[in-house]
Amino acid sequence: MAATVSSAFTPSTRHHLTSVTRFRSLYLSNSISLPNFKSNSVKPLISSKNPNFRLLLVSAASMSAEAPEKISTASFLDRRESGIHHFVKYQGLGNDFILVDNRDSTEPRITPEQAVRLCDRNFGIGADGVIFAMPGTNGTDYSMRIFNSDGSEPEMCGNGVRCFARFIAELENLQGKQSFTIHTGAGLIVPEIQEDGKVKVDMGEPILKASDVPTRLRENKGDAVVKAKLNIDGVTWNVTCVSMGNPHCVTFGSNENQDLQVDKLNLAEIGPKFEHHDVFPARTNTEFVQVHSHSHLKMRVWERGAGATLACGTGACATVVAAVLEGRAGRNCTVDLPGGPLEIEWKEEDNHVYMTGPAEAVFYGAVAL
């Protein structure tokens, strides 16, 4: 197996593979001081399904405590020579993303079709989406675009934007508490990296007007859809519709099951029926929520374009907004997701929703598509 893998790499690629064993940050320019990686930290993968798909991986946790070694990264970073795309994989509560440095271009380096291949967990890197760090527009510091694992492009992603913030901090070598502005398809987003490494994000104001969510369900609380009836295969669900720049349908249960136990749901069966229901012209993300207390909610999510994921930041925000509108919870809540908790606050003072949670680098890599 080792010989087969080795023979698939060109001499130039083998040179890069040698360099990557000592390489920590793929994006710092010129020469840098960096620690050595353990000898087994690089794992070249060849896909039998896509034989031209080559991947080099470096675990973010695989650095040894040896003294730093001064090396030049110029040849390793020369995309024109190697045809290799460099990336860092991040995760936010298990919602994982491939982060690509795209700051020198307003066009993504990777196509939606390539993103589907990269996100494949058997024949690719494996991720819920590919995120591009791009030049800012309309006065913002940066722009963020994302392709889902099915190749579709959502307006925004809450867990993704926290990963984006940590990625930018690494690219720009930012230290301590930092804040910057990001242009997204959902508008202006402002993340702030905290002293403890978590990221607090000003997610802006929730959108409640039915036509702007969008949903064809009839407004029943001003312009909003709150605890409305939605029929799914003969079961009447009570739903509240919220947009955090992307559409969400939040439910705390059905007429038949007022006390929802989210762990008992067959998400793969019920989720797509919400996502593709004709009352959601842009499809929808769906949150199934269990109330533990006035400040503690438990949520499972079916994401539009990604399916069941371990976490959804915008979904957690929409969940708290819906819980407040339905009188089930206060404005400051812990939302438990399969991947871990998020702290969500919907402030009365400015009507903005704030999300705080972790984002961590998983590994660094390079891929030839």
- Residue 245 domain-assigned? yes
pLDDT, tens digit, 9 for 90 and up, residues 145-165: 999 999 999 999 999 999 999
186 vs 176: CA distance, rounded Å: 27
Task: Please list the active-site residues.
Answer: 157, 312
CA distances (Å), origin 100, targets 87, 141, 191, 199: 5, 16, 18, 19
pLDDT, tens digit, 9 for 90 and up, residues 243-275: 999 999 999 999 988 889 999 999 999 999 999
pLDDT, tens digit, 9 for 90 and up, residues 74-88: 433 444 445 688 999
pLDDT(13) > 50: no
Q: Check which CATH number belongs to the domain holding 91 and give it.
A: 3.10.310.10
Do 104 and 184 sit in the same domain of this protein? yes
CB-CB contact of 355 with 49 (8 Å)? no
Q: How many domains does the chain have?
A: 2
357 vs 369: CA distance, rounded Å: 33
- Residue 5 domain-assigned? no
pLDDT(65) > 60: no
What's the pLDDT at 2?
32
Exposed (0-12), middle (13-18) or buried (19+): which is 30, by Cβ within 10 Å?
exposed
pLDDT, tens digit, 9 for 90 and up, residues 161-209: 999 999 999 999 998 899 999 999 999 999 999 999 999 999 999 999 9
Confidence of residue 235 (pLDDT cuts 50, 70, 90): very high
What's the pLDDT at 84?
82
Please, what is the average pLDDT of the chain?
83
Q: What percent of the chain has pLDDT over 70?
A: 78
Do 195 and 242 sit in the same domain of this protein? no
What's the pLDDT at 258?
83
- Residue bearing tokens 């038949």: 256
CB-CB contact of 237 with 225 (8 Å)? no
pLDDT(51) > 50: no
Do 218 and 330 sit in the same domain of this protein? yes
Do 194 and 215 sit in the same domain of this protein? no
This prediction has a pTM of 0.78
pLDDT, tens digit, 9 for 90 and up, residues 106-134: 999 999 999 999 999 999 999 999 999 99
Best CA proximity match to 97, nearest among 368, 332, 365: 365
Domain that holds residue 153: 84-203+362-368
The answer to whether the bond into 51 is cis (omega within 30° of 0) is: no
- Residue 279 domain-assigned? yes
First vs last Cα of the chain: how many Å apart?
Answer: 21
What's the pLDDT at 57?
58
- Residue 45 domain-assigned? no
The residue with greater pLDDT, 71 or 283, is: 283
Do 178 and 251 sit in the same domain of this protein? no
pLDDT(12) > 80: no
- 346 forms bridges with which residues in the sheet? 353
- Residue 105 domain-assigned? yes
pLDDT, tens digit, 9 for 90 and up, residues 284-307: 999 999 999 999 999 999 999 999
- Residue 74 domain-assigned? no
180 vs 165: CA distance, rounded Å: 8
- Residue 75 domain-assigned? no
**Residue 177, amino acid:** K
pLDDT(37) > 70: no
